[in-house]
């Protein structure tokens, strides 16, 4: 995603969008992306280190099931989050495969594609091209929330006792030291699951909103600390549109996922025009992956967008509406009924944009 090594900086400097040159330039100059990614990953996981990891069942793309609870007490676990369009992810893949080949008998290695602007059709060719042979999962957002995904790539190490041990981003000496540590930790005796307090995954959210559901109201706090309260079913209620996005979508994905980049630009430009009308209220909701309030202020200023922006820092809004693609548009009528939900990966995406 946003983090890139220095040799890629010129790519981003020269690939400046005319619509937002200052935003992209600010992200392409004088930034140590690897260090920034490491900081974000460690910050996201620092309160989890030493605590029990989730007891989850994971289904791989070939239909196999990995039960993490069966690993705890027997083997440590290495989970790596990645995306096909992420430049440092691509760089780390040869080393990732080497780790799997060398250590797969000693540690459970799981490859997790984030599912963000990816699907089976993009993941399978990528795995073949990169020569990856470890078990691979395409996430729907569930694993990202459980393991505090904030960057790509992101390493998560779980020790033999089933406790979080390490969160990171870079493939450096420290990461390999941490990997060796969890592999060789306490091998003198075996732990059993019932000796360790394992955290169980919460039940699926019964309040995840689907098309056809009706909401009574919605309340948000924008990045400017303004409160937005939308009430439905009243005389002065308006139609509502929610746009789920990432501030990096347009400029970062231009080279590695151009269709998604184009879609993000289309949505921003179209809704900026539509927002001038009073018959519908629009709210933009940003992902917490490679995003922050400060970066959203920068995005808002550079792109000149007037739409209110909400930062989904804990991922609860993306979860509540079942969103994992960027951009995704959700439309609600005056009664609060969800009329439609469409993402860049849906075949009807262009038709929905045209009909707005």
pTM of the entire structure? Answer: 0.85
Q: Has residue 150 got a pLDDT over 70?
A: yes
Tokens of 156: 């998560």
Note the pLDDT tens digit of each residue in 312-338. Answer: 999 999 999 999 999 999 999 999 999
DSSP secondary structure letters along 214-252: B-SEEEEE-TTS-EEEEE-SSTT--EEEEEEE-TTHHHH
| The pLDDT of residue 108 | 97
Which range among 27-31, 191-195, 221-225 has the greatest average pLDDT?
Answer: 221-225
Note the pLDDT tens digit of each residue in 136-145. Answer: 999 999 999 9
Percent of the chain with pLDDT over 70: 85
Domains assigned to the chain:
32-200 (3.40.30.10), 217-355 (3.40.30.10)
Q: Are strands 65-67 and 57-59 parallel, antiparallel or unpaired?
A: antiparallel
Separation CA 74–CA 100 (nearest Å): 17
Nearest to 18 by CA among 251, 246, 247, 305: 251
| The pLDDT of residue 186 | 64
What is the average pLDDT across 260-271?
94
278: confidence class by pLDDT, cuts 50, 70, 90: low
Tokens of 125: 């060719």
Separation CA 58–CA 77 (nearest Å): 13
Residue 94 backbone dihedrals phi, psi, to 5 degrees: -60, -40
Note the pLDDT tens digit of each residue in 68-113. Answer: 999 999 999 999 999 999 999 999 999 999 999 999 999 999 999 9
Separation CA 56–CA 108 (nearest Å): 14
Q: For the chain, what is the mean pLDDT?
A: 87
| The pLDDT of residue 208 | 85
In this structure, what DSSP letter does residue 139 have? -
Q: Has residue 169 got a pLDDT over 60?
A: yes
Whether the Cβ atoms of residue 38 and residue 168 lie closer than 8 Å to each other: yes
What is the average pLDDT across 153-161?
97
| Paired strand residues for 109 | 78
Task: Tokens 């993009």: give the residue.
Answer: 122
């Amino acid at each position: 995603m946003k983090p890139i090594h220095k040799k890629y900086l010129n790519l981003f400097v020269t690939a400046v969008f005319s619509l937002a040159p200052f935003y992209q330039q600010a992200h392409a100059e004088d930034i140590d992306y690897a260090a920034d990614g490491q900081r974000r990953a460690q910050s996201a996981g620092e309160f989890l280190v030493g605590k029990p990891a989730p007891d989850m069942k994971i289904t791989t793309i070939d239909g196999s099931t990995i039960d993490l609870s069966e690993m705890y007490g027997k083997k440590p676990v290495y989970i790596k989050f990645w995306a096909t369009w992420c430049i440092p992810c691509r760089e780390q893949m040869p080393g990732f495969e080497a780790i799997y080949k060398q250590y797969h008998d000693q540690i459970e290695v799981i490859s997790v594609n984030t599912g963000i602007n990816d699907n089976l059709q993009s993941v399978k060719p990528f795995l073949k091209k990169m020569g990856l042979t470890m078990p691979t999962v395409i996430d729907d957002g569930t694993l990202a929330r459980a393991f505090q995904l904030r960057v790509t790539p992101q390493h998560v190490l779980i020790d033999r006792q089933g406790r979080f041990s390490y969160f990171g981003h870079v493939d450096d000496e420290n990461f390999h030291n941490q990997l060796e540590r969890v592999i060789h930790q306490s091998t003198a005796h075996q732990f059993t699951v019932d000796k360790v307090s394992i955290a169980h995954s919460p039940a699926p959210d019964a309040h995840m909103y689907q098309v056809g559901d009706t909401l009574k109201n919605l309340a948000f706090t924008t990045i400017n600390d303004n409160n937005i309260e939308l009430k439905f079913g009243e005389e002065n209620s308006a139609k509502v549109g929610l746009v789920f996005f990432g501030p990096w979508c347009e400029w970062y994905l231009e080279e590695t996922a151009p269709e998604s980049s184009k879609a993000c630009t289309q949505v921003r430009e179209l809704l900026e025009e539509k927002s001038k009308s009073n018959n519908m209220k629009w709210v933009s909701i940003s992902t917490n992956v490679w995003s922050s309030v400060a970066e959203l202020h920068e995005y808002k200023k550079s792109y000149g967008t007037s739409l209110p922006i909400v930062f989904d820092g804990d991922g609860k809004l993306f979860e509540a509406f079942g969103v994992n693609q960027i951009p995704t548009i959700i439309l609600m009528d005056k009664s609060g009924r969800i009329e439609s939900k469409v993402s860049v990966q849906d075949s009807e995406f262009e038709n929905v944009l045209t009909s707005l």
